[in-house]
Amino acid sequence: MDKILNCVGGDFVDSDQTIVTHNPSDLSEVVGEYAEADETLAAQAIDAARSALDEWAWSGPQQRFDILDGAGARLLAQRAELGALLAREEGKTLPEAIGEVARAAMVFKFFAGEALRPGGELLPSVRPGMTVEVTREPVGVVGLITPWNFPVAIPAWKIAAALACGNTIVLKPSEVAPGCSFALARVLREAGLPAGVLNVVLGQGAVVGQALAASAQVDAISFTGSVATGHAIRAQCAGNGTRLQLEMGGKNPLVVLDDADLGAAVENAINGSFFQTGQRCTASSRLIVERGIHDAFLAAMRERMAQLRVGHALDPATQIGPVVNQRQLASHQRYLQAAREDGAEVWGGEVLTRPTRGHFMEPALVLKAAASSAINREEVFGPVASVLKADDYGHALALANDTEFGLSAGICTASLKQAQHFRRHSRSGLVMVNTPTAGLDYHVPFGGRKHSSHGPREQGSYAREFYSVVKTAYINP
C-alpha cells in the first residue's frame, strides 16, 4: 500500500511517522497509511498558504467558479469509489457514504455559484457628491480543523466556502479518518486549483491542530469537533485575535406530542437516533414523549429497533454500520452501565459479534433516566437515545431547552400552532418539524447556540460572514 503524503505548497511531503487506519467493520483490513506531520511541517504549510494568498485573493470569479464546479463534477463522478473509501475508513454504510460524497459535490457546486455572487453595495453618501462602496475581501490564510464523522462533507463545506471567498487554506483533518480529505485535495488539484492554495497536513490534534490554532500567521480558524477541543482552541486563538468559528456537539431533543402520527414519529426517531450509527452532531439523543402517546411509542420503537440490521458497512443488507473505534465503543458502554447503575432501564446496547471482527453495537434505548443524569446531559455520540416522559407540551418544551447545547431540535405533531410555538421558543440553531433532527440541505445556513456553536453560521450564503471581511470605501470624485 502506498503511503499517502501531506500536501504542502503543491509538493507531497513524507515524514518518519506514519498513521495507519483500520476498517471498523473488519479490523484485519488496513485502509490507509499516512505521513504524520509535526509542528514544523504545519508551519511550512501555513507559509505555503501565505505565499499563495495574493494570487488566489485576486483570482477572478470565473476561475473560482470553474475550479469549484469542476471539483463538484469530479466528486459526483467518483462518488461510488470515494464512498467505498469513506465506508471502509469511518464505518458508515455504503449508501450513507455515497450520499455524503454526493452532498460534498453539491456543496462545491453551490459555492461555485457563490463565487459569482460576491455581493457588495453602492450607496449615496450623506455628504453631497460622494458615494460609498461596501465590498468583501478574503480574510487571508484560514486553518480548518475537522472531525472524523463527516470526513468528506465537513472539509468540503469549509474548503468550498473559503475558496469561493478567495482565502488560502491549511486543512488538518481528523487522524481517525483522513483518507477522504486527501482525496478531496487531489480532486481540487485535478480541477485546476493552483499549488499552495489548499495544503493538507495530517497529525495529532494536540500537535498539528494546536500549531494551527496557536499561529499568529493564521488569520482565521474554522473548527468542527467536540466542545472540549473547541474551548481549548478558543483559548489559543484569543491571544492572537484570530477570527474563530466553532461547530461542536449536541444533545438534540425530538419531542413527540400526543397528536403526532405514531408511525412517522417512530421513523423520525429511528433515523435521527440510530442512522449513521448515531454519530451525528444533530442526532436525536433525547426523545421527549408526551404522556398520552408514550407507551404506544415505546412499543413501536421496540418493534422497529428489533428489525434494524447492524453489520459490515459494505454489506448491502446493513442499515447500521459499526462504531468508529474501540475508544468510542467503550465510552458508549460506560454511559449505558452508568445509566443502569442510576436505576434506568436499557433496551439493546449489546456489543455484537459478526463474521468480521469490528466495533458492532446494537442500538440502545434508555428509559426512566433522570433528566439530570449524564445520559441526558452529555453527548454520547453513538447509537444511544434516552426517552423522557413529558406531562404536556409545555413540559416537553422545557425539557427540550434544558441542555447546555442548542444545535438541532425536532417536534412531531399534527398541530401547526404547537409546531410554530416550538419553532419560536426552541433555543436551538435548527428546528425540525415532522422530520428527523439530522439530515440537512446544503444551501442554507447551519449552526447552533449555547455550547454547540460559536461565531457566524456555516454553509449557504451566510458562510461568507466568516470567510470574508467587509470594506467600506468613501469615494469623493
Footprint on this chain of ligand NAD (rule: CB under 6 A): 145-150, 172, 174-175, 205-206, 209-210, 213, 224-226, 229, 232-233, 247-250, 281, 379, 381, 407, 452
The minimum distance between CB 156 and ligand NAD, in angstroms, equals 13
- Residue found by looking up cell 457546486 in the block: 109
| Contact call for residues 425 and 314 (beta carbons, < 8 A) | no
Amino acid identity of residue 131, one-letter, is: T
Q: How far apart are the first and last CA of the chain?
A: 64
Q: Which of 30, 163, 130 is nearest to 88 (CA)?
A: 30
Residue number, 210 or 418, with CB nearest to ligand NAD: 210
Q: Min. distance of Cβ 209 from ligand NAD in angstroms? A: 2
Minimum gap (Å) between residue 404 Cβ and ligand NAD: 12
Task: Give the whole-angstrom CA distance, residue 414 versus residue 156.
Answer: 37
CB of 381 to ligand NAD, least distance (A): 5
Contact 389, 298 (CB under 8 A): no
Query: Looking at beta carbons only, is 301 or 361 nearer to ligand NAD?
Result: 361
Tell me if 268 sits within 8 A of 410, measured CB to CB: yes
Taking alpha carbons only, the member of 177, 217, 199 closest to residue 91 is 177
Question: What residue type is assigned to position 34 of the chain?
Answer: Y
Nearest to ligand NAD of 87, 200 (CB atom): 200
Residues in Cβ contact with 429 at an 8 Å cutoff, skipping those fewer than 6 apart: 406, 407, 408, 446, 447, 448, 449, 452, 453, 457
Give least dist CB 299 to ligand NAD, A: 30
Distance CA 365, CA 295 (A): 14
Q: Of 115 and 407, which CB lies nearer to ligand NAD in the complex structure?
A: 407
Beta pairing partners, 145? 172, 223
List Cα–Cα distances, 305 to 310, 365, 369, in angstroms.
Answer: 10, 9, 19
Specify the residue, 130 or 238, whose C-beta has the smaller distance to ligand NAD: 238
Residue 365: beta bridge partners?
347, 385
The helix-helix angle for 79-90 and 61-77 (nearest 10°) equals 70
Catalytic residue among 7, 237, 281, 412: 281
Sequence-ordered alpha helix ranges (H) in 78-151? 79-90, 94-115
**Residue type at 162 in one-letter notation:** A
CA quadruple 101, 102, 103, 106: dihedral, nearest 10:
130
Q: Kindly state the smallest distance separating residue 200's Cβ from ligand NAD, in Å.
A: 12
Nearer to ligand NAD among residue 44 and residue 149 (C-beta): 149
Beta bridge partners of 475: 131
Smallest distance from ligand NAD to CB 36, Å: 11
Q: Which is nearer to ligand NAD, 79 or 251 (CB)?
A: 251
Measured distance CA(128)–CA(300) in Å, rounded: 71
Name which of 26 and 247 has its Cβ closer to ligand NAD.
Answer: 247
Which CB sits closer to ligand NAD, 26 or 90?
90
Enumerate residues 6+ apart whose C-beta is below 8 A from 122.
131, 132, 133, 134
* Smallest distance, ligand NAD to C-beta of residue 422, A: 21
* Residue 237 among the catalytic residues: no
Residue 257 CB, nearest distance to ligand NAD (Å)? 26
SS3 state of residue 438: coil
In terms of Cβ atoms closer than 10 Å to its own Cβ (0-12, 13-18, 19+), residue 99 is middle
CA dist 469 and 362 (Å) reads 47
The catalytic residues are 281
